[in-house]
Structure 1
């Protein structure tokens, strides 16, 4: 029995469909006539899980009053050599960046290693959160790839974070929202103790001794909340330790990922919650708001420019879940609420 015959057999377990018709690039399409048993969401989830094991991935799309099943091949190979090369370059660049932080409060011979752990651990846990959620829902996926960047000495941070290639869209709106929020939540929870230890090892310096050009103009909301525990006297500012600086970067990266634009993490959650039109409208409004705020807070303007670039690259669109007609249940709503809390806690606030 050929793979395509096995695929037909799996489809026929759950749906009554017309004959599969090839539509190019190894993809097939058939009109759905009826369900064999259960409801649409349950049947499609079962079909999705079984087809992925065979190397195919499905989507259900409505055209007029008809429902069509589309299946396509997805790439399943991992490029281990590329993964190792990117990881090695990123680790080397972040470690070298840590050398520039030795002079900060709490700095010393261990600073490069601590900065490496403080920065990369939450970022990797962030991607691992996505990866584990994708694994749970059987979404085809790549390994988490670290993205290297020039070191701090050249004006960068040593890394641009990490990324997972989602090789097919999740089955339902619930799964799309949960996968979208799982990474930021995991990374945020790991970054919290890094920030606490980092702030405890930071120094309090009289504001009069700090040149205005060396102060940070915006701070993530959660850092402001945590700094309350430092009990800083009036007229003093916090000079961040290397670990605090690492957490500061992680919270900013988390906020950037939570911006509800395109296929960023926030875009996944917004698309699951509001559908295609709502996702597109909110994306454009948010970019406009960030660019406008950038006139007063340049960092927010930078986020706005990044979001604008992503908006143009994706044309403001997101494919949504594979079962386009699915809606959020309680678990999806909880994911949206968690998303809102994380967005508020990582929001950059003028200091």
Structure 2
């Protein structure tokens, strides 16, 4: 775009909704868990979405700036953030890179947040009155980091997470959800890039397993499970379906699904 074509009023008019949603989400996350949580979780979410955004720019795929989704209720204060891709994806390599970059960058911010936050956290006895006690499910990766930082906890003791550590846990939670190998989630993009139209079989199996988890283990997943049933079977094909992934991307795809398994927890919240 030349200097003559740039219209500041038009640009800032388009960006206004993104800025307002960003500010609103900062306020709701601050209201729910304080300043350090808000700064950390906003950084993780922004890094994830900008990973998608700049990779879309690289492949000339039209995409919006991130939309942040405020929610003035605990425990997270937000529904996360999304970008909307408006253009056609040229090939499977572009689809893979766009899908993979967000979770990878989000994870690069989540893990340091967990480590720093755990150093700032307290180890205290579990209260006898657990009516006000919110327990968090521990993914394998989180448990591994916690043992490295704090060691094995004595019987009857638990970690009371600092807001930074909780934001890191939430970042891990978001990463795992996005890596579900279903539909138009990041994991669905990666799976389609790996398997093409055969990925629909994986989507079907993934949705069925997720629905079983929602019914038997954690009813809180039900709304998300319904959304997956409605939208999870569809994935638009890239323009070029014949170009296959190179070995490095295939290996990275396998690594990303390992990250999903060690980051996902079937029961994230325990009241």
TM class by smaller structure: 0.7 to 0.9
Where structure 1 has 5 or more consecutive residues not aligned to the other structure, the ranges are 1-75, 99-111
Q: Hey, what's the Cα distance between the residues in 1 that align with 2:12 and 2:191?
A: 30
Give the total of aligned pairs: 256
Whether contact under 8 Å (2:61, 2:88) holds in the other structure is yes
Higher relative contact order (CA 8 A, sep 6+): 2
Q: Hey, what's the Cα distance between the residues in 2 that align with 1:213 and 1:320?
A: 48
The residue number in structure 2 matching 1:311 is 229
**2:30 corresponds to 1:95:** yes
- The Cα of 1:137 is off from its aligned counterpart by 1.8
The residue number in structure 2 matching 1:122 is 44
Q: Hey, what's the Cα distance between the residues in 2 that align with 1:202 and 1:328?
A: 43
**2:257 corresponds to 1:340:** yes
Give the SS at the match of 2:154. Answer: coil
Map 1:150-165; keep pairs closer than 5 Å. 150-152=72-74, 157-165=76-84
Give the SS at the match of 2:138. Answer: strand
**2:200 corresponds to 1:280:** yes
The 3 A distance-change label for structure 1 pair 207 and 118 is same
**Regions of 4+ moved over 4 Å:** none
- The Cα of 1:331 is off from its aligned counterpart by 3.7
- The Cα of 1:317 is off from its aligned counterpart by 1.1
The residue number in structure 2 matching 1:222 is 141
Whether contact under 8 Å (1:263, 1:318) holds in the other structure is yes
Q: Hey, what's the Cα distance between the residues in 1 that align with 2:43 and 2:129?
A: 31
Which residue of 171, 186, 191 maps to 1:265? 186
Map 1:13-24; keep pairs closer than 5 Å. none
Q: Residues 145-164 of structure 1, C-alpha deviation per residue, up to 9 Å, x if partnerless? A: 21212232xxx522111111
Give the SS at the match of 1:234. Answer: coil
The 3 A distance-change label for structure 1 pair 332 and 307 is farther
The residue number in structure 1 matching 2:35 is 113
- The Cα of 1:303 is off from its aligned counterpart by 3.9
Whether contact under 8 Å (1:175, 1:332) holds in the other structure is no
- The Cα of 1:295 is off from its aligned counterpart by 4.5
Give the SS at the match of 1:237. Answer: strand
- Bigger proportion of residues as helix: 2
Q: Hey, what's the Cα distance between the residues in 2 that align with 1:137 and 1:78?
A: 25
Map 1:63-102; keep pairs closer than 5 Å. 79-98=14-33
Give the SS at the match of 1:165. Answer: coil
Where structure 2 has 5 or more consecutive residues not aligned to the other structure, the ranges are 1-10
The residue number in structure 1 matching 2:212 is 292
Larger radius of gyration: 1
**2:239 corresponds to 1:322:** yes
The residue number in structure 1 matching 2:5 is none
- Bigger proportion of residues as strand: 1
**2:165 corresponds to 1:247:** no
Q: Hey, what's the Cα distance between the residues in 1 that align with 2:89 and 2:156?
A: 51
Whether contact under 8 Å (2:90, 2:240) holds in the other structure is yes
Moved more, 210-219 or 172-181: 210-219
Whether contact under 8 Å (1:178, 1:335) holds in the other structure is no
**2:77 corresponds to 1:132:** no
The 3 A distance-change label for structure 1 pair 234 and 81 is same
Q: Hey, what's the Cα distance between the residues in 1 that align with 2:19 and 2:185?
A: 24
The 3 A distance-change label for structure 1 pair 303 and 171 is farther
Q: CA RMSD in A?
A: 2.4
